Structure 1
Amino acid sequence: MGAVTDVFLITGFLGSGKTTFLNRLTRAFPPDRKLVILMNEFGDIGVDGLLVEGEDLEVLEISRGSIFCVCVKTDFIRGLAGIAREIRPDVLIIEATGAADPGDMKRDLGLSVFRNRFRFREQICLIDAVNFTAVYDAFASVEKQMAAATCFIINKTDLAGPSEVIRIREIVGRHHPDPVFHETTFGGIPLERFAAAVLSPEAPASPSPAPLPEAEIDQAIEILLRDPLRVMLPPDTLASAVIHVADGTRDDFLGLSDALPAGLLRAKGFVRLDGDVHLFSWVMGKGEVRRVAHRKIPDAILGRLVCIGPPALVKALPDVCGTHAVVLKIS
């Protein structure tokens, strides 16, 4: 373990391919260095953490909203404190919810209570080449993610035309003075070109003292939440729902998928169909169901889909689902 923890932030709007890209990084991570992943999900249950590959990885999850808004800011700071005090990894990768505004993150990592443990290295922004223009026009978080990023991965280029990619580059250029682009599918950028900066250590820094007293953490959180300059509100008004889907057949489940409103932004979860566990992933009107082999899904998560979208659409889901599923919670 190093004297400091290098921090990398993965952002990108809902469904842009952040978890797929994260898995590419973890597979290339040197075995002699310690990596921790902190995942933030917008819904009330965590799905993406179960999709991260690697038996020895430490994956911490924060659900219930964006780590950059007041609703879970305390959880985020406490999570960082625990990482600094107890785990002390060489590298921390934070995958932010797709609706996040990352503008406050560098200041959070630099809080004096962390004793200079964290060193911010890079923010990688994934872009869904198919849906980018639509979400850019509708959601403020997209603009904020672009402004703060240091590298842009234009993903899903196999599903978009050259003119769409050119348009994306032009839009990003309006919000970033010197963007660095990688164009790819399934987050598959050449790691020898990119990951060296992510996965290789820099010169060692002076050791950071520990531990971090709980009272000092509490005081730092109280001061932070009173700071008027902090980003304490989500940039977009979105809602989430948890839907329960009973075990059934693939054909039965496709009936639910077809019933979901086109304006829903994201739906994701594990369901048991025809006796096997499947992952359902829906992005802006397009859904995919694929079998997930050799993976144990907790009973509290299996059969539950997290749906994210405009509040009016989410509140209408009980009527939309009909006999296909039961809406357990809307928040």
Structure 2
Amino acid sequence: MDAQAPALSPIPAVVISGFLGSGKTTLLLAVLHHMRRLGRKVAVLMNEFGDISIDGEILRGEGFSVMELSDGCICCQIGEDFVQAFTEVASRNPEMIFVEATGLADPVDLLDQATAPHLMDRVTIAKMVTVADPKNFTRLSKVLKAIVKRQTQFADVVVIGKADEATPEQVADIRRYIEAHNPHAPVYLATHGQIPGDEDFRWLLADVEPAERERRRAAMRASLEALSEDEYKAHTDFHSMSCRLLRPLVRDRFERFMQSLPPDIARAKGFVRFEGEEGLWVMMYVNGDLYIRPVALSPSPEEHLVFIGAQLDHARLANDLAACEARRRALAVL
């Protein structure tokens, strides 16, 4: 009689959430570089809000394999696709799976998707990490009250990203909020995805005691209130617009355009080239803050931009962006 093969242990998955532009991809990239140095086999599942992947292109350009789910939120719009993608990723038998959720993801729905019956024996959500943007957290916790609260409540760990840009008052505000809504979660400050003094990512890779983790999640669920109609609307009112750039841009025109975006646009990102300048540049815009830096990726992605916000005037954005080109030409709005 053949001996029965031992059952495989579920693959641990780390879910990284946090609002748009909080620094999730920066953190994920730092972790992936560390795992590569260790020779660990990992898989990445990324969900972007928009039909063109920017963060996925960055990870691929750094040599990482990424499975993507775009143009929707994994917790409500593409849930079945998420379960299928999770199943496919698990079938590759990685040592660990990293999931970067869109900034609008509700962790409650995400956990429900990740604990589908046919996934439970293959994958376990080992850790939920929420990344908080110190410059915008207090405002967002009022505008998107329910989503920010849930992302905080269900976090096993909270990381305050962009700590080098934060004031002591901003850090203190986040700590008070976390203490009120999730006093068990440790809080770390990160700069460029790295926690000072913990280059081995012990804070992330150390095991969480499963029984205690599930007890906390069950307690959170028991006290959970359903989203009101207004809260759900605030979650679903966000839309995206993608533009493929057909010519290089004039830098000063582009910077003025980006800095004059209406407040309804919470996030923009993409790849651009500038007239008279060599190479590719990555642009990141978060609630009024603009970052542009050179980037060398292989393969090199096409130049394109994604705008995310509650109200998007597609025609105006396309026209204003076309005015930034070295020579006027129609943009390909996707």
TM-score, normalisation: structure 1: 0.80
Matches of 2:179 and 2:290, distance apart in 1? 31
Task: Report the more deviating stretch, 91-100 or 73-82.
Answer: 73-82
What RMSD in Å do the two structures reach over aligned CA positions? 2.8
Q: 1:193 to 1:158 in 2, by over 3 A?
A: closer
Listed as ranges, the matches of 1:1-331 within 5 Å are 3-29=9-35, 31-52=38-59, 57-69=64-76, 71-85=77-91, 87-114=92-119, 116-139=121-144, 140-190=146-196, 192=198, 195-196=201-202, 198-199=204-205, 235-245=235-245, 246-273=247-274, 274-298=277-301, 302-312=302-312, 317-318=317-318, 320-321=320-321, 323-324=323-324, 326=331, 328-329=333-334
Instruction: Note the C-alpha offset of 1:186.
Output: 2.0
Question: What stretches of structure 1 move > 4 A for 4+ residues in a row?
Answer: 53-56, 200-203, 312-316
Q: Given residue 267 of structure 1, which amino acid in structure 2 is its aligned partner?
A: A
Aligned residues: 296
Matches of 2:196 and 2:116, distance apart in 1? 34
Matches of 1:62 and 1:90, distance apart in 2? 21
Q: 1:131 to 1:314 in 2, by over 3 A?
A: farther
Q: 1:201 to 1:168 in 2, by over 3 A?
A: closer
What's the secondary structure of 1:281's corresponding residue? strand
TM-score, normalisation: structure 2: 0.79
> Is 1:35–1:57's contact at 8 Å kept on the other side of the alignment?
no
> Is 2:264–2:311's contact at 8 Å kept on the other side of the alignment?
no
Q: Provide structure 2 residue ranges, at least 5 long, that are not aligned to the other structure.
A: 1-7, 210-225, 227-231, 326-330
Q: 1:294 to 1:308 in 2, by over 3 A?
A: closer
Instruction: Note the C-alpha offset of 1:311.
Output: 2.1
Instruction: Note the C-alpha offset of 1:119.
Output: 1.6
Could you tell me the percent identity over the aligned residues?
31
> Is 2:61–2:299's contact at 8 Å kept on the other side of the alignment?
no
Instruction: Note the C-alpha offset of 1:250.
Output: 2.3
Aligned to 1:220: none
Instruction: Note the C-alpha offset of 1:272.
Output: 1.6
> Is 1:67–1:96's contact at 8 Å kept on the other side of the alignment?
yes
